[in-house]
Structure 1
Amino acid sequence: MPDSSTLASLNAIAHSIISYSAMIAVGLIGAGLIYLAVLYYRDVTQTQHAIRRNYPLIGRFRYFFEHLGEFFRQYFFAMDREELPFNRSQRSWVYRAAKNIDNTVAFGSTRPLNHSNEVLFMNCLFPTLSEDAAPTHSVTIGEGYCREPFSSAAIFNISGMSYGAISKPAVQALAAGAREAGIWMNTGEGGLTPYHLEAGCDIVCQIGTAKYGVRDAEGNLSDQRLADLASHPQVRMFELKLSQGAKPGKGGILPGGKVTEEVANIRGIPVGQDSISPNGHPDIRSIDDLLDTLARIRRVTGKPVGFKMVLGFSEWLDELGEAIHRRGLEFAPDFITVDSADGGTGAAPQSLIDYVGLPLRRSLPLVVDKLNEYRLRERVKVIASGKMINPAEAAWAICVGADFIVSARGFMFALGCIQALQCNKNTCPTGITTHDPELQRGLVPADKAARVANYAKNLMHEVGVIAHSCGVREARSLQRKHVYLIDERGVPEPLSLRYPDQTPRPEYLIASTADEALTP
């Protein structure tokens, strides 16, 4: 048995070990707290990631779980292409394009290539070489029919998102990014604001059923307000919205929580009350009313005027074509924006999102073909809208006959949207669709503007890559024969067979094919 001196020594050693262990533990805890404090400071001061800026430290778990998600989906849950409304593959492409980082993938496609209505582009044996590629041709809207026609070579632009539905920093970032990329920005029905104008980008002013920003004291369309808007050189076109994809047959819905004093002043509505637009224009109840209104806006503003709609019943397209020929081409819309019925950014009843109207895959060919049938295709330009956030979707729309493509949700992803599905509330965690200043601070316009521009530029570049693979020199030279659709039997079918295109090719496209004989 050890003597008392030995026990005392052992006790002293044990006491020292405990003391040092406690000191080390305290030191590690202190170091950990300092490290967390540093991370907290870095998160709240950085401007690249809205989630980390709004939710310091906690927001970092998103990226950790996102990384783990790859493995969980691989073994337990859905694959990348099974998420809705936009799957992870679609969103990841936008995120990488917006950050201007490597957008290549490995180990083959995860896309089902034998499902009905899937799109396949037909590459030719001798694709267009880089030295033979041509810049995207400019298209002019309203030439010969208005005082100030608008020309643009940009095939991909920002669709309507109202200030109020989206935040001030989101509008500022989109406007600055549009300016940098050389694309236009649609105001949405909420009206033109100083935030749209401050960056100097091209602007399309949208006129909704409530006529926010262009109405008089009684709520009627005001020539004076139209002229005031048109006096801004940046305002290049006006778009009369008849319906939109999120809610065809219902007007805009802005929850009262988003109707701040500033939003209320711009729209001319009470603060804090739901802003619900009529489900149609009370003064436009026929095709002739529509053409009269378009002609009036064009006469007052001197700028191109068109309308936006979701196609349901299509018989009215015949009535439109007949009325234009009866009254004269000067009454025709300068453009038609065809919106898809599969939803959009706005708050909407699910019954309308899910069940009303035609998706763009059906409606765009119908509209283009009707314009061809009535020999109006050169007079009336076509803008395609709806769930097109990746290059292949935009390229498909051009093949069908669209002159331009516009996207809202694609640019929301470029701003940092994580598809939290909070757009109809005031709780968007990335600051895009909220007026909560604590959440808005996560969205720094200067940083996000660069991502907006990168996204637009990279998408248009990759549409060009698809075009060159098909053997044509630039994106606007793509035609229906370059696309095959998978039919119900899983067999590829040329789009030109399903929707025969009998339109003469515009002069500038006749010589734009690198190897016409070998192009499918």
Structure 2
Amino acid sequence: GFKLCVGRPEEFASLVAAMIKTNIAPDFVTVDGTEGGTGAAPPEFSNSVGMPLIEGLTFVNDILTGAGIRDQVKIITAGKVISGFSVVRNLALGADICNSARAMMFALGCIQALKCDSNKCPSGVATQNPALMAGLDPNDKSVRVFNYQKNTVDAALHIIGAAGYDSPAGVSRDHVMVRTDGVYCASYAELYPAVKPGSLLDGTAERQNLQQIWDAGLLLVNREHEAIEHEDHYLPN
């Protein structure tokens, strides 16, 4: 599998089109959002580059669904997954699995010193310096990480149970409301209507913007295929 933060939507669409063309699909795609990023990343990149997680996750799910291969590819999400609700929200939007990096680092003792790449992490988490590593007590921190993971999962399951389901598979975009302005709220199902499996392939997708992105992705992958064939034609035997 591979991990990405969606940039140009048509480029991801072209990846999916290539999966269909070659009959080769990854086991999983991990979707990160603008919100994600290591402390070693330039702040402008980690704060501003790429599609936010909610939009990126729904887009990846809907493109895979519309292309008819959603059942072949698992979707993993990352990007500030820090609470039980954020887990439920991501599952409702289409994720199969939620990764948590930043929050686990906090539980381990990260103070966001932004020195991950310097070997000078003051909390001992991201360093090989023995003097700094001494600040991380595994006997203490392991309990904190365990408690955080357990309580977060428990909170997510309680929310799912409160919605009337005994499995995370029951939640959908209908279950999550978001304020759209100072007065109105809408469900994610209203904001991101479901896409029929395979509808992008025959041009019947009701969301025209998604169909246009898919068509642009097809053009990209076809041009790339033609360019490769052209190069192969002129290669010496």
So what's the TM-score if we normalise by structure 1?
Answer: 0.36
Shift of 1:501: 1.9
Match of 1:320 among 15, 19, 23: 15
Alpha-carbon distance between aligned partners in 2 of 1:321 and 1:427, rounded to the nearest angstrom = 41
> 2:213 maps to what in 1?
none
Shift of 1:454: 2.0
Alpha-carbon distance between aligned partners in 2 of 1:308 and 1:449, rounded to the nearest angstrom = 27
- Aligned-partner residue type, residue 160 of structure 2: A
Deviation track 1:95-154 (CA, whole Å, cap 9, x = no partner) reads xxxxxxxxxxxxxxxxxxxxxxxxxxxxxxxxxxxxxxxxxxxxxxxxxxxxxxxxxxxx
Match of 1:440 among 133, 139, 164: 133
Alpha-carbon distance between aligned partners in 1 of 2:142 and 2:193, rounded to the nearest angstrom = 41
Alpha-carbon distance between aligned partners in 2 of 1:438 and 1:413, rounded to the nearest angstrom = 20
Alpha-carbon distance between aligned partners in 1 of 2:125 and 2:189, rounded to the nearest angstrom = 40
> 1:347 maps to what in 2?
40
Matched-pair contact (CA < 8 Å) for 1:341–1:353: yes
Matched-pair contact (CA < 8 Å) for 1:345–1:408: no
Report whether the alignment pairs 1:428 with 2:131: no
Match of 2:168 among 466, 472, 475: 475
* SS class of match (2:35): coil
Match of 1:357 among 30, 50, 67: 50
- Aligned-partner residue type, residue 312 of structure 1: G
Report whether the alignment pairs 1:394 with 2:87: yes
Report whether the alignment pairs 1:452 with 2:145: yes
Match of 2:108 among 392, 412, 415: 415
Alpha-carbon distance between aligned partners in 2 of 1:339 and 1:308, rounded to the nearest angstrom = 7
Percent same amino acid at aligned positions?
40
Matched-pair contact (CA < 8 Å) for 1:384–1:405: yes
Alpha-carbon distance between aligned partners in 2 of 1:430 and 1:345, rounded to the nearest angstrom = 15
Q: Please list, as runs of the form range in 1=range in 2, the aligned pairs for 1:105-184 lying within 5 A after superposition.
A: none
Match of 1:375 among 55, 68, 93: 68
Change (3 A) 1:460 1:503: farther
Shift of 1:347: 0.9
Report whether the alignment pairs 1:338 with 2:25: no
Q: Please list, as runs of the form range in 1=range in 2, the aligned pairs for 1:228-307 lying within 5 A after superposition.
A: 306-307=1-2
Q: Which runs of 5 or more structure 1 residues have no equivalent in the other structure?
A: 1-305, 505-520
- Aligned-partner residue type, residue 133 of structure 2: Q
Alpha-carbon distance between aligned partners in 1 of 2:109 and 2:145, rounded to the nearest angstrom = 10
Alpha-carbon distance between aligned partners in 2 of 1:401 and 1:381, rounded to the nearest angstrom = 10
Change (3 A) 1:377 1:427: same
> 1:404 maps to what in 2?
97
Matched-pair contact (CA < 8 Å) for 1:391–1:460: yes
Matched-pair contact (CA < 8 Å) for 1:429–1:439: yes
Shift of 1:479: 0.7
* SS class of match (2:71): coil
* SS class of match (2:99): strand
- Aligned-partner residue type, residue 171 of structure 2: L
CA RMSD of aligned residues (A): 1.8
Q: Please list, as runs of the form range in 1=range in 2, the aligned pairs for 1:206-217 lying within 5 A after superposition.
A: none
- Aligned-partner residue type, residue 390 of structure 1: S
Deviation track 1:169-201 (CA, whole Å, cap 9, x = no partner) reads xxxxxxxxxxxxxxxxxxxxxxxxxxxxxxxxx
Change (3 A) 1:493 1:317: same
> 1:308 maps to what in 2?
3
Match of 1:494 among 187, 198, 201: 187
- Aligned-partner residue type, residue 129 of structure 2: D
- Aligned-partner residue type, residue 410 of structure 1: A
Alpha-carbon distance between aligned partners in 1 of 2:2 and 2:102, rounded to the nearest angstrom = 20
Alpha-carbon distance between aligned partners in 2 of 1:317 and 1:434, rounded to the nearest angstrom = 35
Change (3 A) 1:488 1:431: same
- Aligned-partner residue type, residue 146 of structure 2: A
Alpha-carbon distance between aligned partners in 2 of 1:423 and 1:325, rounded to the nearest angstrom = 39
Alpha-carbon distance between aligned partners in 2 of 1:415 and 1:503, rounded to the nearest angstrom = 42
* SS class of match (1:407): coil
- Aligned-partner residue type, residue 317 of structure 1: F
Structure with greater helix share of residues: 2
Matched-pair contact (CA < 8 Å) for 1:342–1:354: yes
Change (3 A) 1:413 1:503: farther
Deviation track 1:230-267 (CA, whole Å, cap 9, x = no partner) reads xxxxxxxxxxxxxxxxxxxxxxxxxxxxxxxxxxxxxx
Shift of 1:502: 4.0
* SS class of match (1:435): coil
Shift of 1:351: 2.5
